[in-house]
Copies of this chain bind each other. A is one copy, B any other.
Amino acid sequence: MNEQRSAPVPGGKAFRPKPRLPRGFKDRDEAELMAEARMLDTIRGVYASYGFQALETSAFEYADALGKFLPDSDRPNEGVFSLKDDDGQWLSLRYDLTAPLARHVAENFQNLPKPFRRYQVGTVWRNEKPGPGRFREFIQCDADTVGSAAPAADAELLMMCADCLESLGLKRGDYGILLNSRKLLDGVLEAAGVAADPVRRGIVLRALDKLERLGVDGVRALLGEGRRDESGDFTSGAGLNPEAISRVLGFAVPDQESAGDPESVLPRLARSVAGSTAGEAGAANLGEILRIVNTCGYGADRIRVDSGIVRGLDYYTGAVFEAQLTFPVTNDADEKVVFGSIGGGGRYDGLVARFTGAEVPATGISIGVSRLLSALKARAGAQAFAAAPLCVVLVLDKGAAAEAFRTAAELRAAGIRAEAYAGDGGMKAQLKYADKRCAAIAVIEGGDERARGEITLKDLNRGAELAKTAETRDAWLTARPAQQTVRRGELVACVRAMLDGGRTS
């Protein structure tokens, strides 16, 4: 790869690589980073207030320690960035924060507090086909409790998630933390006589997943003999008997009595699994979780059971939960839709057992950082995430650069974000620079003004507004609207007044 060097090749031209981002990656700018940092600081603050500990694991793991738990992939190492270390061992970049947590816990088991409650915010990498809005590098934000089977550990995650969303400015009613149990689903299937038959069970779960699209009658057909669609194609059903079908539908379809009454959902679901050991244990577990969150003041307006939550079925072993935003947003097709899920999680057991053989109960929640950020922007408006307004002090003659930098330092000392122009360009280049920086005010201090003890402030926000009505950019520049000359000693006060939107003429 010597051609990477910029040294001239004898008899030829220097090799010049094309400057381009790798496929599926992106650079992120100030606006996105500032908004994300504020959001993550808030979430970290809530996690820390609950006594969860920060942890940061290495980006690389040994491939065998990382394992393969990616969904939707039968091929080992598919979906992961891997390379061989110089000692011949394979290293992989983490694809989530849960597998490294399992390695960390197994490696440090003796020294960790038990239960071990940690949060981690970090980049993960997926070696997948990139697409629009689908990146190969993104940030996850997880909280997990390892080493506790107590329902309190799940309850705590649900309350913590609700606290995060409200700390971020979402209102009661804007969101719901929805709760279900893998054991409850198992109980329904057991009661329906299909628990031991993975093929039939798969058909039932896929059918339930189509409830919204096909309606109750369509799902009923799929649970029984099968269903012929509009095109004439026939889909084989699960072959359940009428009583089993009725049980399954009774689980998944809210009945009249529970509609609008979230308190009645769990009793209804418990009835539909009566007689199944797994199901009854699941119902009792959800009941205990609800009792804890209710005691702590989290009612059904925030945390409630919803039998429609069917997350990552191959992975979870007990409670599963999902945080949904219930307010409408406008999608790309200009339709009003409910924002939907911004994260979730549940109980899992097998991860640490991969290393030690002993199952360690664990439960965790993961927040989708980029999805939550777009939701907050949609709800709060871009204004809420805007950077502090910026002043640019122009440098009219090179000899006075030092004075311009001193003026910028004076504004900063007063708590105002300010910079002096650090380039080599003239007046036009400097105004263009201020424009690209989205500066609020240009501060101009020419030699004559300095001699008179004066300084000029140009309101660029107002200038930009006026420019919309001006015929040309040049006309705007020469008209110099929203500009005022003030006493040098009143600089800070006048800048403050201009930033507050007042005029100080």
Contacts and interface: CB of A to CB of B under 8 A. Distances in A.
Nearest to A15: B64
Nearest to A56: B28
A29 B4 contact: no
Which of A127, A159, A424 has the most CB atoms of chain B within a 10 A radius of its CB? A424
A50 to B, nearest CB: 6
B148 A423 contact: yes
Given A18-B355, A62-B22, A123-B59, A422 B148 contact: yes
A20 B65 contact: yes
B112 A436 contact: yes
Given A423-B114, A423-B147, A354 B51 contact: no
Contact of A60 (B137, B150, B155): B137
Interface stretch (A246-254, A272-280, A397-405): A397-405
A141 to B, nearest CB: 14
A418 B113 contact: no
A4 B401 CA distance: 62
A357 interface: yes
B390 A51 contact: yes
A6 B354 contact: yes
A4 B68 contact: yes
What copy number does this chain have within its complex? 2
A67 B28 contact: no
Contact of A76 (B5, B53, B418): B5
A86 B24 CA distance: 12
A59 B135 CA distance: 12
Query: Of residues A55, A106, A150, which shows the largest number of chain B Cβ atoms within 10 Å of its Cβ?
Result: A150
A150 B422 contact: yes
A405 B298 CA distance: 12
B17 A51 contact: no
Interface stretch (A289-297, A317-325, A337-345): A289-297
A107 B19 CA distance: 5
Nearest to A135: B58
11 contacts: A14-B357, A16-B357, A20-B62, A20-B65, A27-B58, A28-B56, A51-B392, A114-B425, A145-B422, A291-B402, A292-B402
A298 to B, nearest CB: 9
Contacts of A60: 22, 25, 137
A34 B54 contact: yes
B56 A33 contact: yes
A2 interface: yes
A65 B19 CA distance: 6
Contact of A27 (B49, B56, B417): B56
Nearest to A154: B422
A59 B395 contact: no
A34 B55 CA distance: 10
A130 to B, nearest CB: 11
A454 to B, nearest CB: 19
Interface stretch (A77-85, A190-198, A327-335): A77-85
Contacts of A95: none
A406 interface: yes
Given A61-B22, A76-B2, A292-B401, A387 B48 contact: yes
A52 B30 CA distance: 9
A63 B1 contact: yes
B17 A67 contact: yes
Given A17-B64, A117-B422, 16 more contacts: A1-B90, A4-B67, A16-B355, A22-B91, A23-B87, A25-B59, A26-B58, A28-B55, A33-B55, A49-B418, A111-B436, A115-B433, A156-B422, A291-B402, A292-B401, A296-B405
Contacts of A422: 115, 117, 145, 148, 150, 152-153, 156
B30 A55 contact: yes
A65 B17 contact: yes
Interface string A137-170: 1000000010111111101100100000000000
A350 interface: yes
Interface in A372-421: 387-388, 390, 392, 395, 398, 401-406, 408-409, 412, 417-420
A73 interface: no
Nearest to A151: B401
A353 interface: yes
A259 interface: no
A458 interface: no
A420 B58 contact: no
A295 B77 contact: no
Given A83-B82, A355-B18, A64 B28 contact: no
A150 B401 contact: yes
A370 interface: no
Contact of A403 (B53, B150, B295, B398): B295
